[in-house]
Amino acid sequence: MEKRKILVTRPQLPPLNEFIPLLADIWESRWLTNNGKYHQEFEKALAHYLGVPYVCLFANGTLALMAALQCLRIKGEVITTPYSFVATTHSLKWNHIKPVFVDIEPDYCNLDPAKIEAAISPQTTAILPVHVYGNPCAVDQIQNLADIYGLKVIYDAAHAFGVRKNGSSIFNYGDLSIVSFHATKVFNTVEGGAIICHDLKTKKRIDYLKNFGIANETTVIGPGINAKMNELQAAYGLLQLKYFDTVIDARKYITDKYKKGLQSIAGIRFLDVADDIDYNYAYFPVFIDELQFGQSRDAVFEELKKHDIFARRYFYPLISEFPTYRSLPSAKGLHVAHEMSRQIICLPLYPDLPDEIVDLIISIIENMSEVSAAKISVNVLSDLNRNHDLHKK
């Protein structure tokens, strides 16, 4: 058998035989983009499936983020997290907004609500938190602060497709949420994304913004951009939606298998799912405490690589470490984010990841822990001997 590289994720595709008739239909109609039939159908299907009022499709999640900031006319300073994918902060930068980093909490690696207030200045206009790995932020506390200080809340919910809190979509929180349908995400349309909003007026405004600001043949209402999703991707997305529940079941199965295999190893921690959350199993993040485990996160990362298993260190380095952002005053400190960033490794997780590979990954980590346990006991023994020798002298 040819040796296959195991990557952190492998995109799920709909059955090709179901896609071909949709492609034939698009070929026939010659309607490729600009709010076509599949675009309209996909927006409605998503809103219905997720239980949200309005969905605005985008070419990708980053353009959705940038348009969300434009839609609410955000400027000045925005409070955000250093523990995310760079697109979160880049979207601020492209809108000439100053990012203000606030540290995360250690339980879910989301923005620490207790540290937000101290970062609010007269220039602050909004909070841009991220539901990291799909685990919801402290949405009620964040909304409370936003209400007190008159701030907008835009959630970067790129990881959170399908996540519910108390039975309601996590996209229903904040003024706007954006999601990514990139190939590496839990739900993909190859590339793609969306803004979720609560009312039709806002949807209209967002739809103008993603299509050059064009309102009709002769009216351009403002400096929009081209960020539209095309018909091929919308049709593909409709098929993806049909299979999403089975995708979640498969991801849950693998997650449970990992947890069972790794739970008794000292120095390994994973994230719990809170009682009121329906989770999407978007990632399997593991935190390695070097002192307890006996070896570093990077040692685990390298050892897996030797077996052609490519885990990912999401999120290392922190966004606040990159040259564009590291000179910001708020890039200093951030101790929890730094510690989590040192410990994190996301293990491979996708619906058709074979059981044997999961077992192999577990046994590699287990062996490393046994080796380090043996090393520790040798050290303890030699310390004992040394003490013993000292006593003899």
Ligand X SMILES: *Cc1c(COP(=O)(O)O)cnc(C)c1O
Q: Which residue is nearest to ligand X (CB)?
A: 61
In 306-334, which positions are buried (b, 16+ CB within 10 angstroms) versus exposed (e)? eeebebbbbbbebbbeeeebeeeebbeeb
Residue 1 Cβ vs ligand X, minimum distance, rounded to whole Å: 33
Q: Which is nearer to ligand X, 177 or 369 (CB)?
A: 177
Residue 205 Cβ vs ligand X, minimum distance, rounded to whole Å: 21
Residue 41 Cβ vs ligand X, minimum distance, rounded to whole Å: 21
Q: Which is nearer to ligand X, 159 or 372 (CB)?
A: 159
Q: Which is nearer to ligand X, 176 or 368 (CB)?
A: 176
Residue 89 Cβ vs ligand X, minimum distance, rounded to whole Å: 9
Residue 319 Cβ vs ligand X, minimum distance, rounded to whole Å: 10
Q: Which is nearer to ligand X, 63 or 262 (CB)?
A: 63
Give the torsion through C-alpha atoms of 198, 95, 224, 131, to 10 deg: -30
Residue 185 Cβ vs ligand X, minimum distance, rounded to whole Å: 6
Q: Which is nearer to ligand X, 169 or 180 (CB)?
A: 180
Beta carbons of 289 and 269 less than 8 angstroms apart: yes
Residue 381 Cβ vs ligand X, minimum distance, rounded to whole Å: 46
CA distances from 12 to 135, 180, 252, 350 (A): 21, 15, 15, 8
Could you tell me which of 339, 343, 373 has the C-alpha nearest to residue 270? Answer: 343
Beta carbons of 166 and 201 less than 8 angstroms apart: no
Residue 163 Cβ vs ligand X, minimum distance, rounded to whole Å: 13
Task: Point out which residues bind ligand X (CB under 6 A).
Answer: 60-62, 84-85, 87-88, 130, 156, 158-159, 180, 182, 193
